[in-house]
Amino acid sequence: MVTSSMETHNRFGLLTISLVLFLTLTKSLSSTAFDVSEYEGGESIDIADSILSYGSEMGDMEENEWQMVQTKGNQFVVNDQPFYVNGFNTYWLMVFAADQSTRGKVTEVFKHASSVGMSVCRTWAFNDGQWRALQKSPSVYDEVVFKALDFVVSEAKKYKIRLILSLVNNWEAYGGKAQYVKWGNAAGLNLTSDDDFFSHPTLRSYYKGHVKTVLNRVNTFTNITYKEDPTIFAWELMNEPRCTSDSSGDVLQDWIKEMAFYVKSIDTKHLVEIGLEGFYGPSTPQRYQLNPNAYAQQVGTDFIRNHQVLGVDFASVHIYPDSWISQSIADSHLQFIKSWMEAHIEDAEKYLGMPVVFGEFGVSAKAPGYNSTYRDNLINTVYKTILNSTKKGGSGAGSLVWQLFPDGTDYMDDGYAIVLSKSPSTSSIISLQSTRLALFNSLCSKKCSWGCKKRNLLEKVLYHDEL
């Protein structure tokens, strides 16, 4: 489905209206919400004008260049203006786009996400040796599937959604490192562990070949090379890398160093992240107590050390207490989420000097004791922790819920799927978070940091607990 410029402008108009309505509601809850007399110099700040100006700027973006996301200290910026992330995961977009009978679902996902203000999607730019494989064998590609990925990128841009593209899987789904080992053995390498993916030079060369091919791909819909396309938010080296055969973390650390450098040698414009779950490793034993279980410190990852690698631009963390701690949901999981997030935000500020994105979080409907109210509480916990960092100018740069589905795709549900049309309360929570972040970005322009006179006003407007 092609989105006309009129439809897009209407969408931004609706966002503007929703922001103004949000401010009206806030004002009704607090008679002091718009009292600006306390600000230095007595300068009046017209919130409505700021919001309308933001809506106008968003509309102007249609005519102006779609700019790359960059980092500035511990924040993301676009055009030197803050860019906080409220986004989602939908990993299967490329595979669905490869079949004309399901391609429309890709458009639906972006349309629904855009309707609640989501601005970033994380998805797979890999499918190795499997059904509808992108990479059928090392450096051999299915052009039909590659054109499907082209479609995903071009369609995302129509809805002003940026993409984090992951380049390989740690797990066997969609091929992963296990498929690379199979290819190596087929070539006579006699490999014995899936973790040989990280250390064997031939498998490293296979991975580099994939990176080079994807980054240099010219999109058949837009005629823009991937490495030049601002629709791509960032490259992710791997989905949830683990190297359990080396608990010291040295093997994975060496792989991250080589591959982050390699990506940057091809593409200096885009951001790079690792794709880690966030477990603390041997370089910070004092942080072991924050891990969800004892096994987490033995999987070969090391949150702080890994993210100190040159070429890594922001930190990634995942949040799955129903998988890591216990399957049965509990309020203690919510406390874990808050502590887990706050620890990583603190580390990103003190030791890394970079933003941190909570790239996956959710709860399975298959978990014992699950109900939709609990899911809403979990999402709210994540969102509030992000906002608490935002109002302090911290490193908490955003989150991506796992995962957003359109109607009619229940057969793909892993238990975590959120269908917005069937989840009005969850949809409202997501929309409010998007509105708050958009409002912050509009008021804190490139000439206004969190030390500015608008800070207290923003705190009143954005963080009403009653909302």
Residues with catalytic function: 240, 360
Rounded distance between C-alpha atoms, residue 91 and residue 275, angstroms: 14
DSSP 137: E
Rounded distance between C-alpha atoms, residue 222 and residue 232, angstroms: 13
Q: How far apart are the first and last CA of the chain?
A: 35
Concatenated DSSP letters for 66-124? Answer: -PPPEEETTEEEETTEE--EEEEE-TTHHHHHTSTTTHHHHHHHHHHHHHTT--EEEEE
Retrieve residue 414's tokens: 């892993």
Alpha helices, H only, 313-396: 321-324, 331-347, 372-390
Retrieve residue 55's tokens: 């809506």
- CB-based contacts of 56-61 (< 8 A; 24+ apart in sequence): 57/442, 58/12, 58/15, 58/16, 59/9, 59/12, 59/13, 61/160
Rounded distance between C-alpha atoms, residue 219 and residue 225, angstroms: 6
The answer to whether 334 and 377 are in contact (CB under 8 A) is yes
